[in-house]
Amino acid sequence: MAIRRLGDENTWVLETELTAYVLGVDKQGGLQHLYWGDRLPLDRDYPRPTLALFDSPFESPRSIVYEEYPAWGGIKFTEPCLKVCHADGVRTSALVYDFSEMSEGAIPELVIGLKDSQYGLVIRLHYKLYEEFDIIERYAEVANDGARAVIIEQILSAAWAFPKGTGYRLTYLAGRWGAETQVRRLSLEQGKFVLESRRGLTSPQVNPWFAIDGRERATEETGRVWYGALSWSGSWKIVVEQTSLGQLIVSGGINDFDFTWLLEPGEVFKTPVFVGGYTTGGFGAASRNMHGYQLKHVLPKAQGDGSRLRKVLFNSWEAVGFNVSTDSLATLAEKAASLGVELFVVDDGWFGSRNDDTAGLGDWRPSPRKFPNGLKPLIERVRDLGMEFGIWVEPEMVNPDSDLYRGHPDWVYNFPTMPRSQGRNQLVLNLSRNDVKEYIFHCLDRLLSDNDIAFVKWDANRHFSEPGWPESPEGREREVWVRHVLAVYDILDRLRQAHPQVAFESCSGGGGRVDLGILRRTDQVWPSDNTDPLDRLWIHEGFSYAYCPKVMSAWVTDSSRDCLAFGFHSAMAGSLGISANLNQWSPEELELARQKIAEYKEIRHIVQEGRLYRLTSPSGTGSNAGVSLSAVQYVSPDQDESVLFVFLLSRQFRTPIPRTMLRGLRPDCVYEVTGNGPHAEPVRLSGKALSSLGIEPALSASRDSLLVRIRRTDR
């Protein structure tokens, strides 16, 4: 049994394949977190709840244990998961255990009920087990069973607790526009470190993912790593707190900044999911578990036409910018099709009076000047060339210079007495309003119903300011941060339902909306507007800590033309696309592109659905002095096939290239290795040899790169 109660006690053990998570009720009815780590052989190995005293007038028995879901109240001062204000002005809660429910099945689930009887507040804590990936999903529901409304001031999804001690290290993914998902590390000391977005969207500044390793330090392939990620696409926060008593707690969920939620009697508020996992296999295993979980349980089941794999796409943005028209795109479409591109996406510029970023946003009708006969002639051309057609939209935004805004200036977030700040010449539509949400849904629904569209890129190019909702029901003004995200989810869910053949890509000026919440409803994401193939190695590395390569869109653009093979290899490590002015490419460049796209189609099932091994980080780990290289390997789930990408970033003094040790192969099987250099003969070696002795990448000058293929053979 994955979830069981220990004897008659109110202590529960949640076991995945390799891990255990334990929580229990103490003598005072408090729900304590007791353990999260390796699965242990005996029931008596697992700790039971205790309440002890600490010799300090400033602590309480409850402040020195780990509370499973701390609500603010009593003598305890760590980050609360719940803070409410009752109608009588009381602002603290006293939660005690009420009930539990267990269900087995493909995804076992435990629900623990807590209550504050004084006020009729009922909290249901949910735990869903993804056993094969050693992952637990947690979220909370708060129900108001009382007679009067309650104001929720803070409601996090979960608090994760770690074995008491010090010397922990935090790994997180931070950056900015054009430099997303950079791996950052921090030794934790007493105090709080807050990762958050207050921007209304997930944000490129920091991604809602964390990993913790212990004093002994994990490596890529060994050591204890706890990790987690939020399933939320709006303002969020993750608080990493090391207390004066050696507790380490990571709590997270919807950001409480400027947020309140009015919970009327009979209503329930449900938090987003906070996913957590534990492994002793280092950061590599943590990533592979997250990838496997996403592929099987998070991503929408099939892309558009039901195919499993992401298509090779062409996107117009870096080729022609806003200058899209049937004429400007016809030749590009022909060239793209001749290279083997499968999906042709028209980016920004096709609608309203959109000639640059100052006008037209919100008017989701084809520009009469650029597409006098609508989109159909271009779509037919693209379809005749054997490709599918995709389109860009930015549904949550509006330019003041648009018919939509002229007709509905009250449809944006605003404070009537304050100036409306513009970002990229645009304002944010108030999707908390039902009429605005429905209008946007119907625009998109009509667009997809009237046209043969297989792919939608959903962009969002500014963060929120002046988040006012002048017409809101009383007491609900500050709900906009949550209502907006729920509206986006609702529109996407309904569009998917109505148009199951359409695949979606999430974008926010690059990787500003990459999270598990959006990945439940989109097939891929755009990790960064930075398409420099070298910079992308860092962005991809960080991205891969948290998210699977299948969803990682990567384009070859004109910025790769001085190292085209390198550019292709960098992009082939994710979901490959091209966005370049192919009209200017030489026959040799086009031929290379054709070859690489064909090669990608042969290997994409391994890249998109295989197991990823970060062999050598572009940041230098494992490189010899004088040589800086990066290597990443993918292995098919059956371990019969593998691909290895190696990138030479720089080389001095003719320093010999270090060998690269492969991972994830069957030691006793024989593999044929091809592609290690343009003239290399195939070699046949055992999986053991490939992991112990490795291969010497045939690279010599900086920006050289290799795509090495490894296939199991009988001999």
Q: Is 529 in the site for ligand DGJ (CB under 6 A)?
A: yes
Nearer to ligand DGJ, 323 or 472 (CB): 323
How many Å apart are CA 43 and CA 62, to the nearest integer? Answer: 25
Q: Which stretch binds ligand DGJ (CB under 6 A): 81-89, 163-171, 506-514, 646-654?
A: 506-514
How many Å apart are CA 668 and CA 660, to the nearest integer? Answer: 19
Beta strands 575-579 and 313-315 are parallel
- Please report how close the Cβ of residue 262 comes to ligand DGJ at its closest, in angstroms: 35
- Please report how close the Cβ of residue 311 comes to ligand DGJ at its closest, in angstroms: 17
CA dihedral 509, 515, 516, 518 (to 10 degrees): -30
Nearer to ligand DGJ, 322 or 415 (CB): 322
What is the CA 660 to chain-centroid distance, rounded?
29
Nearer to ligand DGJ, 576 or 615 (CB): 576
For ligand DGJ, the binding residue among 351, 392, 538, 613 (CB under 6 A) is 392
Which residues have C-beta within 8 Å of that of residue 417, sequence separation ≥ 6?
none
Nearer to ligand DGJ, 95 or 345 (CB): 345
DSSP state for residue 18 in the 8-state scheme: S
For ligand DGJ, the binding residue among 67, 68, 241, 348 (CB under 6 A) is 348
- Please report how close the Cβ of residue 570 comes to ligand DGJ at its closest, in angstroms: 17
Region of residue 291 (phi > 0: left; psi between -120 and 50: alpha; otherwise: beta): alpha
Nearer to ligand DGJ, 317 or 634 (CB): 317
Among the listed residues 213, 348, 529, 704, the single catalytic one is: 529
- Please report how close the Cβ of residue 442 comes to ligand DGJ at its closest, in angstroms: 23
- Please report how close the Cβ of residue 370 comes to ligand DGJ at its closest, in angstroms: 15
In angstroms, what CA-CA distances link 179 with 175, 618, 628?
Answer: 5, 14, 20
- Please report how close the Cβ of residue 461 comes to ligand DGJ at its closest, in angstroms: 5
Q: Is 507 in the site for ligand DGJ (CB under 6 A)?
A: yes
Nearer to ligand DGJ, 63 or 233 (CB): 233
Residue 58, number of CB atoms within 10 A of its CB: 9
Contact 314, 579 (CB under 8 A): yes
Residue type (1 letter), 586 = S
Q: Is 396 in the site for ligand DGJ (CB under 6 A)?
A: no
For the record, the structure tokens of 509 come out as: 């000026």
Angle between helices 480-498 and 434-450 (to 10 degrees): 20
Report the candidate in 420, 403, 421, 395 with the shortest Cα–Cα distance to residue 360. Answer: 403
For the record, the structure tokens of 703 come out as: 């920006």
Residue 347, number of CB atoms within 10 A of its CB: 21
Nearer to ligand DGJ, 204 or 253 (CB): 204
For ligand DGJ, the binding residue among 526, 547, 585, 645 (CB under 6 A) is 526
For the record, the structure tokens of 598 come out as: 């064909």
Q: Is 181 in the site for ligand DGJ (CB under 6 A)?
A: no
Report the candidate in 556, 544, 572, 534 with the shortest Cα–Cα distance to residue 648. Answer: 534
Nearer to ligand DGJ, 360 or 664 (CB): 360
In angstroms, what CA-CA distances link 48 with 22, 51, 95, 611?
Answer: 9, 10, 19, 37
Please, which of residues 446-465 interact with ligand DGJ by CB under 6 A?
459, 461
Contact 177, 209 (CB under 8 A): no
How many Å apart are CA 13 and CA 30, to the nearest integer? Answer: 17
Q: Mind spelling out the 3-state secondary structure of 596-607?
A: HHHHHHHHHHHH
Binding mask 463-502 for ligand DGJ (x = CB under 6 A): ----------------------------------------
Nearer to ligand DGJ, 10 or 557 (CB): 557
- Please report how close the Cβ of residue 557 comes to ligand DGJ at its closest, in angstroms: 10
Q: Which stretch binds ligand DGJ (CB under 6 A): 84-92, 220-228, 503-511, 702-710?
A: 503-511
- Please report how close the Cβ of residue 362 comes to ligand DGJ at its closest, in angstroms: 14
Q: Is 200 in the site for ligand DGJ (CB under 6 A)?
A: no
Residue 128, number of CB atoms within 10 A of its CB: 19
In angstroms, what CA-CA distances link 158 with 210, 270, 272, 375?
Answer: 14, 12, 10, 47
- Please report how close the Cβ of residue 392 comes to ligand DGJ at its closest, in angstroms: 6
Q: Is 510 in the site for ligand DGJ (CB under 6 A)?
A: yes
Q: Is 347 in the site for ligand DGJ (CB under 6 A)?
A: yes
Q: Is 580 in the site for ligand DGJ (CB under 6 A)?
A: no
- Please report how close the Cβ of residue 328 comes to ligand DGJ at its closest, in angstroms: 16
Nearer to ligand DGJ, 232 or 526 (CB): 526
Which residues have C-beta within 8 Å of that of residue 403, sequence separation ≥ 6?
352, 362, 363
How many residues touch ligand DGJ (CB under 6 A)?
A: 11
Q: Has 529 been annotated as catalytic?
A: yes
Residue bearing tokens 């212990």: 214
Q: Is 505 in the site for ligand DGJ (CB under 6 A)?
A: no
Which residues have C-beta within 8 Å of that of residue 637, sequence separation ≥ 6?
609, 610, 611
Q: Has 410 been annotated as catalytic?
A: no
End-to-end CA separation in angstroms for the chain: 43
Residue least distant from ligand DGJ (Cβ)? 348
Among the listed residues 459, 515, 523, 704, the single catalytic one is: 459
Q: Which stretch binds ligand DGJ (CB under 6 A): 116-124, 243-251, 276-284, 507-515?
A: 507-515
Q: Which residues bind ligand DGJ (CB under 6 A)?
A: 317, 347-348, 392, 459, 461, 507, 509-510, 526, 529
Instruction: List, by residue number, the catalytic residues.
Output: 459, 529
